[in-house]
């Protein structure tokens, strides 16, 4: 028992509620900020001073080399070889076409530009958060665009025309198939059911038609052996990114499947491909893929590393997505099942949207790694951007130590811009998805 | 916004969209000698239960007594290993199509709501109508707004679940289940995760639903609700039905020792 002596029980009843008050004003301003953030403790002050010293030591020569002493225009490497000369931007400017397109015929590079610009426009449209018709842009980018891009870049028909029969009966059969497909697509479209199948049928007919009509455009054939530079790096990265995510999702779902064989095959593929270096995957894709298929079907030399890169990043993606799937509480599955959704609907509408948003940082991390890994396709003879920089420095007109360095600095700048852009975009998407949706 | 959003408290939904879903069989749920194990743990032992059309049943018991498992077997969130469960004349088997059919007709409300946090309140309610019932979005919106009015939160339709209080979320969960016009409603401790101030609004919603004639199986420890609403109270322990009686006799005159002990613990 307490020894406290009270004369009466303390009674309290509030008579009026206290009104809100503004928080106390903090001593803001630049001086306070510097004190709080740069010199809060003696140790922090020492570190701040050391950092400032380092910057004072490193920055001026760097700025001088990059900008002040840099050679901005020159007919050849003589100026850049002079003592005290900085970066040789004249060389980068001179070789820009080679960096961009590799050995793609100069009079045909408009085709590459057309494909790159239209692709960039579609990507920006598709990824712009509040743009109208994003779904349409995505559909175009993933279906029509690759076919047309292939046709424009190679100059060959974007449809394997040897499938088209030439004999009389063959053409009759072909015409019959057309009538069936168009009539079927029309019916399906009209009744509103299986719209996707109807679109696929229309797409097939359109594809074949364009394929038959394509050669009349008179585009010259440009083999993939002439492709190179930034354009090929972007192509490999885009194909890798576009394929790695869906394949990764399928593998992640397979790994968590109840079906033992599906699970075993997924685990086998993931662990096998993840367990070997990318270079090994590329070399295997290059030498072994042709052995698995008939000689006529032997994949193009550019297609082989594309498959290798996509597969390699897909298995990493699978593990990232699996992490996201594991973060979804069991109650979400039960809620989805209880309202009667099927397994596919549950995955598509409830589980994957939440899982993928959870792992946006991991997904973009994989994309960034993939983007830089594209430089490794040079090992199997693909002339990517870094290989172009490597080759250009052998030109005797532009030989010189600071000239070579300038090329590499430019390459570093290019990779940094793209990776940093991806990183910023993912941060923006994370913030948008986080708003108002906390669990 | 859906057309029905100008809330005046009057239902503006075309009546044919809110067709009552009568049970085809006079027996809503029939369980015969149902047994279930989690690994070696015998969680349901020879459970026999018959629920009539329109009947309200409250199931109580200590934790781990199998009461949640029992109602989760009815829409096959759990699989029973022995015995028969017949829901509205359809026996639960491994036939996937049948299970989807049952789940469409049996609504469920969970302890932790299990709303979809990435969808708005309205989308939470319309999702199954659009994807399972294949209903046009307009009609689905109308139905969802109708039920959101019935649980008295139509003004929250465009918010996300994370922005609502627990009681509001649970009422959304009830509306989401009702949108599918279920024949039977299962409630798995619907008020256990709520702050005390929120319990009443959820119980009132359930009482209104009961007075509309819904067949309900409710796992709860809200004895006031049981007294007022239930036709029968079931007490479970160790996976068995220990005692079953009308609420009045159950609370005033429990017969089994275990029931007396349990009621003594919770009714102080």
3-state secondary structure of A29: coil
Q: Which of A340, A352, A359 to mutate to test the interface with B (most CBs of B within 10 A)?
A: A340
Segments making up each domain of chain A, as ranges:
25-87, 93-435
How far is residue A205's CA from residue A363's CA, in Å, rounded to a whole number? 36
Name the residue facing B128 among A339, A354, A436 (closest C-beta).
A339
Using CB atoms and an 8 Å cut-off, which of residues 314-333 of chain A contact chain B? 331-332
Q: From the CA of B161, how many Å to the nearest CA of chain A?
A: 7
Weakest-pLDDT range from A45-49, A78-82, A260-264, A296-300: A296-300
Kindly report the length of chain B. 268
C-alpha A20 chain-centroid distance = 49
DSSP lists the bridge partners of residue B106 as B184
Q: A62 in contact with B at a CB cutoff of 8 Å?
A: no
Sheet holding B215-219, edge to edge: B106-109, B184-188, B215-219, B56-60, B232-237, B240-245
Q: Give the position of tokens 């570093």.
A: A412
- Residue B67's pLDDT band (cuts 50, 70, 90): very high
CATH of the domain spanning A93-435, picked from 1.20.1530.20, 2.120.10.30, 1.10.3720.10, 3.40.50.150: 1.10.3720.10
B90-91/B56-60 β-pairing = unpaired
Query: Using beta carbons and an 8 Å cutoff, which residues of B are at the interface with A?
Result: 75, 77, 100, 103-104, 106-108, 110, 112-118, 127-128, 131-132, 159-160, 162-163, 176-177, 180
Inter-axis angle of helices A168-191 and A195-213, nearest 10: 140
Phi, psi at B40, each rounded to 5°:
-95, -5
Nearest CA distance, B238 vs chain A (angstrom):
24
Q: How far apart are CA A145 and CA A124, in angstroms?
A: 14
On the CB side of B91, how many CA atoms lie within 13 Å of its CA? 7
Across all residues in chain A, what is the average pLDDT? 87
β-strands B232-237, B56-60 pairing: parallel
CA distance A371 to A414: 11
Residue B189's alpha-carbon distances to A196, B29, B67, B220, B237, in angstroms, are 42, 19, 10, 5, 16
Q: Please report which residue ranges of A293-359 form alpha helices under DSSP H.
A: 303-326, 330-338, 343-345, 352-358
A305 to A36, A300, A413: CA distances (angstroms): 52, 9, 25
Please say if the pLDDT value at position B1 is more than 60.
Answer: no
Residue B106 DSSP one-character state: E
Residues β-bridged to residue B217: B57, B186
- Considering only CB atoms, which chain A residues are within 8 Å of B162? 436-439
Q: How many CB pairs under 8 A join A and B?
A: 67
Pairing of strands B56-60, B215-219: parallel
Tell whether the model's pLDDT for residue B176 goes beyond 90: yes
pLDDT at A435: 66
Q: Is the pLDDT of residue A162 over 50?
A: no
| CB-CB neighbors (< 8 A) of A331 in chain B | 110, 112-114
- A372-420 pLDDT, tens digit each: 999 999 999 899 999 999 999 888 888 888 899 999 999 999 999 999 9
- The Cα–Cα gap between A297 and B174 comes to 58
- C-beta atoms of B132 and A332 within 8 A: no
Could you read off the pLDDT of A99-131 as tens digits, one per residue? 999 999 999 999 999 999 999 999 999 888 888
SS3 label, residue B34: strand
Q: In what order do the strands lie in the sheet with B27-38?
A: B41-52, B27-38, B82-87, B90-91
Determine whether the interchain pair B132/A334 forms a contact, defined as Cβ–Cβ distance below 8 Å: no
Question: Is the Cα torsion angle A366, A368, A370, A376 positive or negative in sign?
Answer: negative
Minimal Cα distance from B126: which residue of A? A339
**pLDDT at residue A4, as a whole number:** 63
Q: Which residues pair with B188 in a beta bridge?
A: B219
Contact B128 A337 (CB under 8 A): no
Q: Per mean pLDDT, which range of A39-53, A212-226, B163-177 is the poorest?
A: A212-226
What are the residues facing A308 on neighbouring strands? none
Distance CA B47, CA B68 (A): 13
Token duo for residue B162: 């994370």
- Whether residue A196 is predicted with pLDDT greater than 80 in this model: the reply is no
More confident residue, A286 or A212: A286
Residue-wise pLDDT for B87-124, tens only, equals: 988 888 877 777 888 888 899 999 999 999 999 999 99
Calculate mean pLDDT across residues A143-148.
84
Least confident of A8-17, A31-40, A366-375, B9-18: B9-18
The pLDDT > 70 percentage for chain B reads 91
Say if residue B196 is exposed, middle or buried (CB neighbours under 10 Å; 0-12, 13-18, 19+): exposed
Using the predicted structure, report yes or no on whether residue A211 has a pLDDT greater than 90.
no
Q: Which residue of B has its CA nearest to A329?
A: B114
CB atoms closer than 10 angstroms to residue B190? 26
**Residue A153 pLDDT greater than 80, yes or no:** yes
Cα→Cα distances B120→A201, A334, B58, B113, B125, Å: 35, 18, 31, 14, 9
Name the residue among A331, A349, A354 with its Cβ closest to that of B131.
A349
Among B118, B127, B159, whose Cβ lies nearest the Cβ of A354?
B118
* For testing contact with chain A, the best of B131, B163, B166, B183 (most A CBs within 10 A): B131
Q: Which of A151, A126, A131 is nearest to A211 (CA)?
A: A151
Which residue would you say has higher pLDDT here, A81 or B115?
A: B115
Mean pLDDT check: name the lowest of A13-27, A100-114, A361-375, B43-57: A13-27
pTM (two decimals): 0.83
pLDDT tens profile A274-323: 999 999 999 998 888 888 877 777 788 888 899 999 999 999 999 999 99
Neighbours of B231 (CB within 10 A): 15
Nearest to A404 by CA among A413, A394, A417: A394
Q: Provide the Cα torsion B64, B65, B70, B71; round to 10°.
A: -70
How many angstroms separate the Cα of B147 from the Cα of each of A11, A378, B17?
47, 62, 12
What tokens does B133 get?
Answer: 């019932």
Å between A336 CA and nearest CA of chain B: 8
């Amino acid at each position: 028992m307490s020894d406290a002596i009270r004369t009466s029980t303390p009674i309290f009843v509030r008579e009026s509620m206290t009104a809100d008050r503004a928080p106390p004003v903090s001593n803001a301003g630049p001086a306070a900020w510097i004190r709080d953030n740069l010199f809060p403790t003696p140790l922090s002050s020492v570190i701040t001073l050391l950092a400032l010293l380092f910057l004072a030591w490193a920055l001026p020569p760097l700025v001088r080399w990059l900008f002040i002493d840099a050679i901005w225009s020159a007919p050849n490497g003589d100026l850049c070889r002079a003592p005290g000369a900085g970066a040789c931007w004249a060389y980068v400017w001179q070789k820009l076409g080679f960096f961009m397109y590799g050995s793609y015929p100069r009079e045909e590079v408009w085709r590459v530009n057309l494909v790159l610009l239209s692709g960039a426009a579609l990507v920006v449209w598709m990824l712009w958060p509040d743009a109208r018709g994003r779904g349409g842009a995505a559909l175009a980018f993933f279906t029509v665009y690759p076919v047309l891009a292939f046709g424009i870049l190679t100059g060959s028909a974007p449809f394997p025309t040897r499938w088209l029969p030439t004999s009389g009966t063959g053409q009759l059969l072909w015409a019959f198939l057309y009538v069936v497909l168009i009539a079927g697509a029309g019916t399906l479209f009209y009744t509103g059911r299986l719209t996707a199948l109807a679109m696929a049928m229309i797409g097939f007919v359109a594809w074949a038609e364009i394929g038959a009509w394509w050669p009349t455009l008179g585009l010259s054939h440009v083999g993939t052996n002439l492709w190179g530079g930034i354009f090929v790096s972007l192509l490999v990265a885009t194909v890798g990114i576009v394929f790695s995510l869906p394949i990764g999702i399928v593998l992640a779902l397979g790994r968590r499947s109840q079906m033992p064989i599906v699970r075993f095959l997924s685990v086998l593929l993931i662990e096998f491909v993840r367990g070997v270096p990318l270079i090994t995957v590329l070399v295997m894709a290059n030498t072994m893929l042709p052995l698995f298929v008939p000689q006529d079907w032997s994949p193009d030399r550019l297609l082989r590393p594309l498959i290798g890169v996509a597969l390699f990043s897909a298995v990493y993606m699978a593990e990232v997505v699996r992490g996201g799937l594991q973060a979804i509480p069991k109650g979400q599955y039960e809620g989805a099942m209880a309202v009667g959704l099927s397994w596919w609907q549950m995955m598509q509408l409830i589980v994957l949207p939440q899982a993928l948003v959870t792992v946006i940082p991991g997904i973009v991390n994989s994309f960034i790694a993939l983007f830089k890994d594209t430089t490794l396709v040079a090992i199997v003879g693909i002339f990517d951007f870094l290989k172009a920089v490597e080759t250009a420095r052998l030109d005797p007109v532009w030989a010189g130590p600071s000239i070579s360095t300038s090329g590499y600095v430019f390459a570093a700048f290019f990779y940094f811009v793209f990776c940093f852009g991806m990183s910023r975009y993912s941060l923006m998407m994370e913030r948008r998805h986080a708003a108002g949706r906390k669990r | 916004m859906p057309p029905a959003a100008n809330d005046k408290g009057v239902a503006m939904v075309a009546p044919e969209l809110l067709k009552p879903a009568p049970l085809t069989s006079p027996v809503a749920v029939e369980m015969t000698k149902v047994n279930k194990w989690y690994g070696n743990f015998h969680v349901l032992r020879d459970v026999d239960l018959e629920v009539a059309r329109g009947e309200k049943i409250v199931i109580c018991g200590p934790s781990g007594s199998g009461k949640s498992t029992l109602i989760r077997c009815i829409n096959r969130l759990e699989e029973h290993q022995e015995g028969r469960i017949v829901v509205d004349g359809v026996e639960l088997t491994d036939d996937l199509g049948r299970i989807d059919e049952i789940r469409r007709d049996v609504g469920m409300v969970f302890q932790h709501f299990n709303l979809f946090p990435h969808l708005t309140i309205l989308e939470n309610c319309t999702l199954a109508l659009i994807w399972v019932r294949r209903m046009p979005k307009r009609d689905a919106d109308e139905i969802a707004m109708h039920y959101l009015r019935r649980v008295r939160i139509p003004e929250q339709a465009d918010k996300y679940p994370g922005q609502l209080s627990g009681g509001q979320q649970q009422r959304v969960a009830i509306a989401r289940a009702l949108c599918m016009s279920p024949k039977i409603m299962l409630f798995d401790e619907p008020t256990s995760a709520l702050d005390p101030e929120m319990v009443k609004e959820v119980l009132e919603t359930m009482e209104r639903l009961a007075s509309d004639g819904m067949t309900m199986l409710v796992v709860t420890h809200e004895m006031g609700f049981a007294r007022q609403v239930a036709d029968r109270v079931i007490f479970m322990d160790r996976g068995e039905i220990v005692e079953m009686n009308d609420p009045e006799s159950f609370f005033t005159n429990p017969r089994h020792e275990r029931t007396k002990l349990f009621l003594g613990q919770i009714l102080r």
